[in-house]
Amino acid sequence: MRKIPVAEPVLAGNEKKYVMDCLDATWISGSGKYVEAFEERFAEFCRVPHAIAVFNGTAALHVALLAMGVQPGDEVIVPALTYVACANTVRYCGATPVFADVDPSTWTLDPSTVESRMTLRTKAIMAVHLYGHPADMDALKVMAARHGLALVEDAAEAHGARYKGQLVGGLGEIAAFSFYGNKIITTGEGGMVTTMDAEAARQARLLKGQGMDPNRRYWFPIIGYNYRMTNIQAAIGLAQLERVDWFIERRLEVAHAYARWLEGADVVLPPQAQWAQNVYWLYSVCLPADVDRSLVVEELATKGIETRPFFHPLHLLPPYADGAKGDPIPVAEDLAARGLNLPSSASLTDDDVRYVSEALHASIDLARQKKVRPRGG
């Protein structure tokens, strides 16, 4: 049977060469020339002066929040529709995530819902570029400045995405990226903190390396974390970054192919605001409200097509049930109930996309038929 995974890495550049160089030189841990080179090249890619490599995207977000001074007793505004790491890292700081709804046209944090969530304890706003589409950063910047809050970008899913022509990663005070195996570029596991602020960068470097003073070995002025990226991870990342334009171009080509083959389908296609460039980390669609998503997922699986549902809204997860403060979050709940991520790898061919699209058409029709079938029929 044909098998199409929802995501898979493409390791067709210098990955093996650079990893073997690490092994031959025995530089395999949290320092080495590839870590430095990867940081420098990624900073250039994001058009920022500072990039700090860490061992995964969650660590990057945790370090970013700490570098912004988030501490016990604080609150951070987080979109309700995102990956759980966004809430978890706030809790790691001893702070409380407070959830706001998302915009139905972008699926990202809705600025109009943010101020009502603010209190005297609010320290920061987290803007998540969900599934590759940038958040409305100007509106959030104005709001953050008015209230004296830090604006943190979660760009884990959005390498190379643009907001009004500017690359994500340098739009707020600080940003976090992920290089997990299914991301646009990967290091297997890995993450990066980017910032325009030299002091924030200094603090992030201190935090990721157990808090050791860079000028006084084994002197620890603060409590830090062992969040260092290995030289082997960075070697893979550097090879991936050498081909990042190709990876982004392929994501756009796959997205355009889906838009062509899904024309007329009874689904909502991914957002693409006029002021943004979505990089389509995953090609994400919303099914009709009258269609049972689980039936569609099961039917696609019989055809060898792997899919993923949207993230559960964070305020509906047991650890965060009080994070909505009793207010409704209808858009996030509706999108989460209907959303489906289709195969999105850079390795997909146009024929793969056609196959998935035609199977989706048929699966929606079949799910509707099963819904109306009389009991016992």
| Both tokens assigned to 339 | 């959303």
Cα–Cα distance for residue pair 73/206, rounded to 1 Å: 23
Largest CA distance in the chain: 76
| Residue appearing with tokens 């009258």 | 290
- What is the helix (H) or strand (E) element at residue 62, kind and residue range? helix 57-67
pLDDT in tens, 51-91: 999 999 999 999 999 999 999 999 999 999 999 999 999 99
Cα–Cα distance for residue pair 145/138, rounded to 1 Å: 11
Where in the sequence of the chain do the CATH 3.40.640.10 domains occur? 15-101+109-241
Cα–Cα distance for residue pair 362/300, rounded to 1 Å: 9
CATH architecture assigned to 15-101+109-241: 3-Layer(aba) Sandwich (3.40)
Query: What distance lies between CA 18 and its chain's CA centroid?
Result: 26
What does CATH list as the number for 245-372? 3.90.1150.10
The pLDDT of 356-362, averaged and rounded, is 97
pTM: 0.95
Confidence check: pLDDT of 213 > 90: yes
Contact 126, 74 (CB under 8 A): no
| Residue appearing with tokens 């605001």 | 273
Confidence check: pLDDT of 95 > 90: yes
- Residues 100-139 as b/e (b if ≥16 CB within 10 A, e otherwise) read bbbbeebbbbbbebbeebbeeebbbbbbbbbbbbbbbbeb
Query: What distance lies between CA 26 and its chain's CA centroid?
Result: 32
Q: What is the pLDDT of residue 346?
A: 97
pLDDT in tens, 291-346: 999 999 999 999 999 999 999 999 999 999 876 676 789 999 999 999 999 999 99
Cα–Cα distance for residue pair 162/141, rounded to 1 Å: 16
The pLDDT of 152-175, averaged and rounded, is 98
Cα–Cα distance for residue pair 151/73, rounded to 1 Å: 18
Which has the closest alpha carbon to 69: 30, 102, 32, 95? 95
Q: What is the pLDDT of residue 376?
A: 45
- pLDDT band of residue 375 (cuts 50, 70, 90) is very low
- pLDDT band of residue 372 (cuts 50, 70, 90) is low
